[in-house]
Structure 1
Amino acid sequence: MDLEAQAKPRPFPPVSFDEFPPTSYEEWKAEAEAALKGAPFEKKLLTKTYEGITLEPLYMESSLEGLTLDTLPGREDYLRGTSAAGYIQRPWAIAQSCDEVLPEDSNQAVKKELAGGSNSLHLILDRATTYGTSPAWADGESEPRGLSLSTLKDVDDLMADLDLSKNGIHVYAGPSSAPLLALLAGRARSQGRASNLALWSGCVGADPIGSLAQDGSIPCPMDQLMDEAALTIHWSRKAAPGLKTVLIRGDVYHDGGANGVQELACSMATAIEYLRAMEIRGLDVDSAASAMRFSFSLGANYFMEIAKLRAARVFWSQVVRAFGGSGDSAKMDIFASTSRFTQTVYDPYVNVLRATSQAFSGVVGGTDTLWVRRFDEAIRPGTEQSRRISRNIQILLQSEFNLTQPIDPAGGSYYVEKLTSQLLESSWEAMQAIEAEGGMIKALQSGYVQREIDGVLQSRLKKLDVRSDRAVGTNMYPNVTEKPLEGTTPDLKEIAAKRAASVEGYRELTDEVHRKDKLDKVLDSMAGDPEGFMENLMETFMAGATLYEVRQVLNDGFSGDLTVEPISPHRWTERFEALRKKTEEGALAGRKVTVFLANMGPLKQHKGRADFSTSFMEVADFDVIRSDGFDSVEAAAEAAVASGATATVICSTDDTYPELVPPLAKAIKEGAPTMTVLLAGAPAPEFKESYVQAGVDDFIHVKANCYAVLESLQRAGGIA
């Protein structure tokens, strides 16, 4: 044969799938039910999410019946994105956070982030700055968190050699953004760069309703905060049209335990309140809507988070158009962050994997700006390593994984499109329920929102307790050999002294009479020209006023007029972490919980349940005493009593339990009456009572309440 002809590639023959007739869902279901051998289809193959949405095991073209999917990116309801070119023309902004307390330290951190690949400044402020209180930590705060700003010099130190006309910015400014905006703009004006404001982009945003929900109160009347929001929108529309000044924080509700439906509903209900308030204050809907950015957290359910961002864009476009807005103002600006709620303290490097999955869902869902939280955020201040890892996750997604294309990669997926539609419908209904309460503020006052979110939170905690939800490294697969991350504790006295010296040193260089004159005119300017108000604020800061002084004047002696039950932030594993920490603290005080494994019979008879019991107990870092396997009840009971353990777990098989358990449990109780006796495995109903009567205190198995069992053993071991 001609070797040259043999080497030439031969075309594949035409392939036809005509011999495989299409299968209907009903036919597939019948086959699945047969494979289940009598187990209920609904229980085994249907999954109900925290959003109340039931996930099917299979999605087909028929799943899309009734859905309109012929829209294009950048068109219609923005389901497929607000830009026709997606990320191809403009990738999402990388906005890694900087929260160093001292402005000069944050300046260095921002420069490192920008040099390392970030392209948007993301500043996290401390509570004193967001609420306009004294910058000193005289209230005994154990660990200052966030950037402290008070004077024009602070902003100068923060922004040294940085240019906001080249990089975007993202800052949550607190209940009002007016003072911080004036500080930033005043600095630009003092350097003769006022014209650069027109090139600023991003968000320096206020969320008074979010502040009320998170903290339970606000520093001054809500009407005052709404007035300030309207004034900042008026000002930015002319001076800095690329800068948004209102930030709707869905993360407040996510961190409280809310599901995706509730996060969307609360965010939209908040935005609706702002649109109405701005309309009353003379702003048209396009101006108000264009000034808003939405912040969402990305949770653990990968496809749900993709659907959440896609549904959010459609939801917002419908709201804006219902208010009479135009197409451009109906485009949602999304800032997404990986979840704080799902971060764990133990086995913290698993947080890197969580963050990667969550960031991936945010990109596929179409976020405009992304923040990947540090894996050690719940443990310590950021390190060079943890910052680099978080930043590089985003850079890899853009540069190596090529996620800047295609546009709307989830578009057309039977599963994601159906889930998006269900999430949109459910969140719209949830928003209407909030509206029926009188709107977001009244729904918070009545406690309706808090009760709804707490119900989901308790459901999450319960599923963690029984380990139907698994947090790797915490309630499942704990790493008992891990060493805590090393960290440094800030020198609070030194930081407080530096801040005080900086503020006082700056004030000494200013004219007190001039400063007071400018402060006296702040309130008067609110009633006049909106641009005049911000101009006066800028001049007041340039005269040497502190943010605290400006906030006090704006409050005009009034305190907040609203109080609600706060939606406190949580992490889903915090109860298990507290359990393990108690064990560690008890060990330092000489109190230990030890568990003896009474393994019965040869290795193959007890190994499976012995391994399960070991992992079960190590969740709380209990010391487990293993054994090779006992041939007799007497030998097992003698060893268990001699161990002096807090508890003994009997490990064998269901077939051997009826004969082994009653005499063994009885013998252990006779030798050590206070010892807790547990049985590994769910007991057969007909034998359970006899086991309990013999002395078995509880049973550990895949459906057992792991948290409750471990907590009871801690009490038995003398760990309060």
Structure 2
Amino acid sequence: MVPFFLSLFPATGKSAWLTQVLNESKAAQRGDNEYERLRWHTEEGFTIEPYYTTSDLAEGPLAPSQLTTIQAAQKQSPGWLNAPEHKITDEKSDNVILRDALARGADALVLNLPIAANNLNDSLSRLLSGIKLSDTPVFFRLASGHAHDLIKALKIVAPYNLKGGLLLDAGDSTAEVTRLTADSPQFRTVCVNSHTFHNAGATATQELAFTLASLADAYDQLTDSGLTLEQLVPKTMLSVSVGTSYFMEIAKLRALRVLFARFTSAYSSAPLPPLFIHSQTSIFYDAKATPNTNLLRATTEAMAAVIGGCDALTVHPFDTVLGTPTSADRSTSATDFSARIARNVSILLKQESYLDKVADPAAGSYYSELLTHSLVEAAWTLFLTVEKQGGFAKALANGFVQTEIEQAYQAKVQAVRNGKVLVGVTKFRFDEPNIQLYTAPERVTGLLPERRLAEDFE
């Protein structure tokens, strides 16, 4: 039976909506093109309409088969791991902090680990005391070249099935550590991250394409070493920064799964396990000016990450970019506060917003589906351009990657100069008196700089 109230709201098409918009807008009375102003011309190079209906799916570029492909690639089970990050400075005192974080809502841990080859077994024993890696996933960040030493030590300190993984880009030792942890299928050793591109100022399209190209290089090396795709995919983790453009970032993570499925199908047509995505809130969009506004950014980014389908989420404390001892020394109440608030963002999204109760909540939204499709096709085209140059390493060596990202970054800066608002920086700003800000030197990761968009305006 059709509810009686539906008869009070007759169906209207998109043309009727557009006519109403133009009739009610003052701009239309002046002869301005109000509808054009409502369209979103993205920095990725495609245009997003302000309003979509089912007719856009039938008449537009997204055919029903493509929609099915997009949705089939998404995560099929809800939920994510709340994985706060901690920089390790003293194993004994840090162990207390880590255990407290797990008792207060963390599901996993990201450990920024300074590796010292001497006494590594003892250091890990103190650090992981009371934390069982078969129950609690632990993800390690460490300097390149030390992965083998860490895995050997973990096999002694925690001689059982490990969960977690290595949050460092695949390198020379990746094949060996993948074989060493074959008995721990939930410990991921093949990692590619998008943070390098994101923090240099890349668009979402560039971030996806260059991450996929980096993975292609890594898989080529690993398959050459004798590993099969069936061995690699379960051990693969992509770590992705999530920025402030809410719907674009949701679509970015959804597009990543589609791109990964399209990419792996070139290696094998056999069914493969789902991709594991670790997401972290963006440092690129954080500001030192009015730093409390970073709380707003982190919440928006975290929400986009979980709706987009991340498997693990790291929310950075709002004062991370200040250079205060948020991660290195948590002896002060202020740093305890920022770490606790960061951890609680995930908890609130679960316990008060119930976002862990449904898988792929963006599915079926005309807007989200078309945005996802647009990102998939734009990123795939750029990925193929990189592959035609011989792969990511060669495209980086010849300057193609740097040039593309530099243009994107300068466009972002120019948009702010032209009036785009950075909350707390160019508008709604409050400079606290006598605050001492640490200014970090510009870092270069490989051939790409680490930046923040607000730097030139603080």
Same fold (TM over 0.5): yes
Matches within 5 A, 1:467-546: 467=419, 469-480=420-431, 482-483=432-433
Quick one: which amino acid aligns to residue 240 of structure 2? F
> Which of residues 191, 194, 214 is equivalent to 1:250?
194
CA contact (8 A) 1:172 1:247 kept: no
1:266 aligned partner: 210
1:250-286, Cα deviation, whole Å (9 max, x unpaired) = 1111011111111110111111111111111111111
Could you say what secondary structure the match of 1:367 adopts? Answer: coil
The 1:166–1:369 alpha-carbon spacing in structure 2 relative to 1, beyond 3 Å, is same
Matches within 5 A, 1:524-673: 566-577=447-458
1:537-590, Cα deviation, whole Å (9 max, x unpaired) = xxxxxxxxxxxxxxxxxxxxxxxxxx996211111101112xxxxxxxxxxxxx
CA contact (8 A) 1:450 1:565 kept: no
Could you say what secondary structure the match of 2:240 adopts? Answer: strand
> Which of residues 198, 201, 204 is equivalent to 2:163?
201
CA distance, structure 1, for counterparts of residue 155 and residue 229 of structure 2: 25
Instruction: Please state if 1:161 is matched with 2:130.
Output: yes
1:447-474, Cα deviation, whole Å (9 max, x unpaired) = 101110111100111111222x211111
The 1:487–1:57 alpha-carbon spacing in structure 2 relative to 1, beyond 3 Å, is closer
Instruction: Please state if 1:29 is matched with 2:18.
Output: yes
Quick one: which amino acid aligns to residue 450 of structure 2? P
Instruction: Please state if 1:15 is matched with 2:8.
Output: no
CA drift of 1:18 comes to 7.3
CA distance, structure 2, for counterparts of residue 100 and residue 240 of structure 1: 24
CA drift of 1:231 comes to 1.4
The 1:368–1:166 alpha-carbon spacing in structure 2 relative to 1, beyond 3 Å, is same
RMSD of aligned Cα (Å): 2.6
CA contact (8 A) 1:80 1:411 kept: no
CA contact (8 A) 2:243 2:249 kept: yes
> Which of residues 33, 47, 52 is equivalent to 1:40?
33
1:45-90, Cα deviation, whole Å (9 max, x unpaired) = 2221221221211111122235355799xx966656333xx22xxx
CA drift of 1:100 comes to 3.4
Could you say what secondary structure the match of 2:429 adopts? Answer: coil
Quick one: which amino acid aligns to residue 46 of structure 1? R
Task: Name which structure has the greater RCO, CA cutoff 8 Å, separation 6+.
Answer: 2
Could you say what secondary structure the match of 2:317 adopts? Answer: coil
CA distance, structure 2, for counterparts of residue 432 and residue 48 of structure 1: 24
Instruction: Please state if 1:186 is matched with 2:156.
Output: yes
> Which of residues 74, 83, 89 is equivalent to 1:101?
89
Matches within 5 A, 1:117-516: 117-126=105-114, 129=115, 151-176=120-145, 177-188=147-158, 194=159, 196=160, 198=161, 200-208=162-170, 225-226=171-172, 228-237=173-182, 239-324=183-268, 326-329=270-273, 331-379=274-322, 380-382=324-326, 383-467=335-419, 469-480=420-431, 482-483=432-433
CA distance, structure 1, for counterparts of residue 300 and residue 445 of structure 2: 35
CA distance, structure 2, for counterparts of residue 387 and residue 58 of structure 1: 39
Could you say what secondary structure the match of 1:568 adopts? Answer: strand
- Structure 1 or 2, whichever has the larger Rg, is 1
1:636 aligned partner: none
CA distance, structure 2, for counterparts of residue 92 and residue 275 of structure 1: 26
Structure 1 unaligned spans of 5+: 1-11, 130-134, 136-147, 189-193, 209-224, 489-562, 578-720
The 1:254–1:353 alpha-carbon spacing in structure 2 relative to 1, beyond 3 Å, is same
Quick one: which amino acid aligns to residue 427 of structure 1? A
CA drift of 1:101 comes to 1.7
Could you say what secondary structure the match of 2:318 adopts? Answer: coil
The 1:403–1:180 alpha-carbon spacing in structure 2 relative to 1, beyond 3 Å, is same
CA contact (8 A) 1:255 1:571 kept: yes
The 1:69–1:397 alpha-carbon spacing in structure 2 relative to 1, beyond 3 Å, is farther
2:329 aligned partner: none
CA distance, structure 1, for counterparts of residue 133 and residue 64 of structure 2: 39
1:665-692, Cα deviation, whole Å (9 max, x unpaired) = xxxxxxxxxxxxxxxxxxxxxxxxxxxx
CA drift of 1:155 comes to 1.3
CA distance, structure 2, for counterparts of residue 470 and residue 337 of structure 1: 23
CA drift of 1:21 comes to 4.5
CA drift of 1:40 comes to 2.4
CA contact (8 A) 2:22 2:35 kept: no
TM-score scaled by length of structure 2: 0.89
Aligned residues: 437
Runs of 4+, deviation exceeding 6 Å: none
Quick one: which amino acid aligns to residue 455 of structure 2? E
CA drift of 1:236 comes to 1.6
| Aligned-pair identity (%) | 29
CA contact (8 A) 2:185 2:234 kept: no
Could you say what secondary structure the match of 2:133 adopts? Answer: coil
CA distance, structure 1, for counterparts of residue 445 and residue 339 of structure 2: 36
The 1:21–1:122 alpha-carbon spacing in structure 2 relative to 1, beyond 3 Å, is closer
TM-score scaled by length of structure 1: 0.57
The 1:79–1:41 alpha-carbon spacing in structure 2 relative to 1, beyond 3 Å, is farther
1:268-325, Cα deviation, whole Å (9 max, x unpaired) = 1111111111111111111122221001111111001111111111110111111115
